[in-house]
């Protein structure tokens, strides 16, 4: 709802203080369901602000790395408790700035809660290795050591969950942080930082600088004092990040785009597969890296699937995510809406059949937002651009196939490798699929979305560069293995030489 009160102006968080940016430029955080509503005004920071944040993080690292991990964990436990208390308020803030429906923004905050508890628990674990030495009177072990200052750049579609996926493991491992959240959704990251500050996180350990990519993101990558970088966003920007990290050999973690698929075999539970395709394709308005933007259906059940799937999609109610009757919210901004409309034209020109949707929605109350109809193309060829390129909106392409092998070929025939799903009751095909699908995440009889925080998350090919978010895998990114040998023999012992007779 528009408010007569002037929107709140926010500041950066550097060295434990909320500080004005150096410049005067600002970014308006607007509600994509009603662009007249300004949710907040945030700084458009520049390289000087980033330099200050990096310096604060560098100074704080000396003390934070020596703070025992179980003590760091106590702060995280308190933060998780506060997030639980404020879940509803933070979910509402998120719907206002991001547009997705309340059930989903509650899920986003819950993901941050889960990740914070998970990593708090790791404060008393972070186990290393102890191994026997090949030499007598010698002790060998490997322990985790903090890496240093972690730079983080995050996208708008999971504005609290994704920052938490990076912040919590980095903190528990003893790193300090400079984070630049997405310009479209700064409030949810602000809320997360607020909670960590109130939970007793020492100044300088986490620094947040708001702004756009080139001005506030790029200087993080260029800073010689940033040791590692974790980026989630488009493959296009990921490539820029990767290149920028190379000259200073920063450890660089990239989570990028996807073109995920649901495969529906002829023996699938069709009711379940249809419900899942609706949720996987149109949840978060299709703006999930794991969105099921392709559905491949066996020709034996194709006609029935298409008919019933399209019927269900037509019934989706589009509107403001704060309205409990809404199933699907708006696109995040005008640019994203234009991308969706561009791909609808591409699909039509490629000869795909537009089965439903295909238009912007701008009648009545929807005129003030970036709404688009849930759109389904059927009879698609897997090589069409709408089946190859990430659209990141409410557009699903349905592709018919003849055999299991063909379905796997279609699934793997894209540049991305994030998430894939198969609906079948045939256990042999289910096992073959989980082995042969070239994605970081595979679901059997569940949609492509629905990752849980205690398991590794990430993708192959142009989706990722080999690292994983979440689970214990996150600890491997945010720590360095340090191998330590203790020789208590009091003599020179040469490995590989003195023990060979
Ligand atoms: P984006 O790449 O446009 O922006 C991501 C972040 O990078 C933003 O904070 C932006 O300000 C920053 N940025 C942009 N240009 C930059 C530059 N030159 N230097 C440094 N930083 C820069 O992506 P988006 O539109 O925010 O998010 C959508 C994309 O994110 C989709 O491709 C989606 O698949 C992907 N995504 C991936 C995952 C995953 O885990 N694989 C999760 C969520 C989103």
pLDDT in tens, 281-314: 999 999 999 999 999 999 999 999 999 999 999 9
Q: Is 225 in the pocket of ligand 1 (CB under 6 A)?
A: no
Catalytic, out of 255, 373, 390, 469: 255
Cα distance between residue 28 and residue 304, in whole Å? 46
pLDDT at 2 over 60: no
Cα distance between residue 275 and residue 233, in whole Å? 28
Cα distance between residue 70 and residue 357, in whole Å? 53
- pLDDT band (50, 70, 90) for residue 5: confident
Q: Is 285 in the pocket of ligand 1 (CB under 6 A)?
A: no
Distance 364 CA to ligand 1 centre (A): 32
- pLDDT band (50, 70, 90) for residue 499: confident
pLDDT at 3 over 80: no
- Helix, strand, coil % (nearest 5) of the chain? 40, 25, 40
Q: Which residues contact 99 (CB under 8 A, 6 or more apart)?
A: 31, 32, 33, 285, 321, 329, 330, 331, 332, 369, 370
Stretch 265-294: mean pLDDT: 98
Domain boundaries, the chain: 12-256+464-483, 261-444
Q: Exposed, middle or buried by CB within 10 Å (0-12, 13-18, 19+), for 425?
A: exposed
Short-list 91, 40, 88, 37, CA closest to 365: 37
Residue 181 C-alpha from the chain's centroid: 12
CATH superfamily of domain region 261-444: Aldehyde Dehydrogenase; Chain A, domain 2 (3.40.309.10)
Is the pTM higher than 0.85? The answer reads yes
Question: How much is the pLDDT for 417?
Answer: 98
Q: Which residues pair with 91 in a beta bridge?
A: none
State the chain's mean pLDDT as an integer: 97
In tens, the pLDDT along 90-109 reads 999 999 999 999 999 999 99
In tens, the pLDDT along 226-247 reads 999 999 999 999 999 999 999 9
**The residue to which tokens 């709404």 are assigned:** 371
Which has more confidence, 403 or 1? 403
CATH superfamily of domain region 12-256+464-483: Aldehyde Dehydrogenase; Chain A, domain 1 (3.40.605.10)
Q: Which residues contact 8 (CB under 8 A, 6 or more apart)?
A: 40, 41
Q: Is 289 in the pocket of ligand 1 (CB under 6 A)?
A: yes
In tens, the pLDDT along 190-214 reads 999 999 999 999 999 999 999 999 9
Distance 275 CA to ligand 1 centre (A): 29
Stretch 348-355: mean pLDDT: 98
Question: How much is the pLDDT for 6?
Answer: 82
Closest ligand 1 atom to 332 CA: 25
C-alpha count within 13 angstroms, C-beta hemisphere, residue 147: 25
Phi-psi region for residue 36, left (φ > 0), alpha (ψ -120 to 50) or beta? Answer: alpha
The token pair at 92 is 């509402």
Active site residue 289: yes
Question: How much is the pLDDT for 25?
Answer: 95
In tens, the pLDDT along 141-199 reads 999 999 999 999 999 999 999 999 999 999 999 999 999 999 999 999 999 999 999 99
* E-strand stretches of 445-498: 460-461, 479-487
Short-list 157, 383, 389, CA closest to 259: 389
Residue 85 C-alpha from the chain's centroid: 24
In tens, the pLDDT along 26-67 reads 999 999 999 999 999 999 999 999 999 999 999 999 999 999
**The residue to which tokens 């689970």 are assigned:** 471
Q: Is 258 in the pocket of ligand 1 (CB under 6 A)?
A: yes
Distances (CA, A) of 28 to 11, 371, 461: 13, 19, 35
């Amino acid at each position: 709802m528009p408010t007569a009160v002037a929107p709140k102006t926010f500041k950066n968080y550097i060295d434990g203080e909320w500080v004005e940016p150096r410049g005067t430029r600002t970014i308006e955080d607007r509600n994509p369901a009603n662009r007249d509503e300004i949710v907040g005004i945030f700084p458009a920071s520049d390289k000087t602000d980033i330099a200050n944040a990096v310096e604060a993080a560098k100074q704080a690292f000396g003390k934070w790395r020596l703070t025992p991990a179980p003590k760091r964990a106590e702060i995280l436990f308190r933060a998780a408790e506060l997030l639980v208390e404020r879940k509803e308020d933070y979910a509402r803030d998120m719907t206002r700035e991001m547009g997705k429906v309340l059930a989903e923004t509650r899920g986003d905050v819950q993901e941050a809660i889960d990740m914070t508890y998970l990593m708090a628990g790791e404060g008393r674990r972070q186990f290393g290795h102890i191994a026997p030495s090949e030499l007598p009177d010698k002790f060998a072990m490997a322990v985790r050591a903090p890496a240093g200052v972690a730079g983080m750049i995050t996208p708008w579609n999971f504005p609290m969950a994704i920052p938490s996926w990076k912040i919590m493991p980095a903190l528990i491992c003893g790193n300090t942080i400079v984070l630049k959240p997405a310009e479209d959704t700064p409030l949810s990251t602000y809320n997360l930082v607020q909670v960590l500050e109130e939970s007793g996180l020492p100044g300088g350990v986490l620094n947040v600088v708001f702004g756009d990519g080139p001005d506030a993101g790029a200087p993080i990558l260029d800073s010689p004092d940033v040791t590692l970088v974790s980026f989630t966003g488009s493959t296009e920007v990921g490539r820029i990040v990767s290149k920028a990290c190379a000259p200073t050999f920063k450890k660089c973690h990239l989570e990028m785009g996807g073109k995920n698929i649901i495969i529906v075999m002829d023996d699938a539970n069709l009711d379940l597969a249809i419900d899942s395709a609706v949720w996987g394709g149109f949840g978060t308005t299709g703006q999930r890296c794991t969105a099921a933007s392709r559905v491949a259906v066996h020709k034996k059940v194709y006609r029935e699937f298409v008919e019933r799937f399209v019927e269900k999609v037509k019934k989706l109610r589009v509107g403001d995510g704060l309205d409990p009757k809404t199933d699907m919210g708006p696109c995040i901004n005008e640019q994203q809406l234009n991308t969706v409309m561009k791909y609808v034209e591409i699909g039509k020109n490629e000869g795909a059949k537009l089965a439903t949707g295909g238009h912007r929605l701008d009648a009545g109350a929807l005129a003030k937002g970036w709404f688009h109809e849930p759109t389904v193309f059927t009879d698609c060829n897997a090589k069409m651009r709408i089946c190859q390129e990430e659209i990141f909106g409410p557009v699903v392409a349905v592709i018919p196939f003849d055999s299991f092998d063909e379905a796997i070929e279609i699934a793997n025939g894209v540049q991305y490798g994030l998430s894939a799903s198969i609906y079948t009751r045939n256990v042999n095909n289910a096992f073959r699929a989980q082995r042969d699908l070239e994605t970081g995440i595979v679901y059997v009889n569940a949609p492509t979305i629905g990752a849980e925080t205690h398991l590794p998350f990430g993708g192959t090919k142009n989706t990722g560069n080999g690292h994983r978010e979440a689970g214990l895998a996150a600890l491997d990114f945010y720590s360095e293995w340090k191998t330590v040998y203790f020789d208590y023999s009091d003599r020179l012992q040469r490995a590989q030489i003195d023990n060979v007779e």
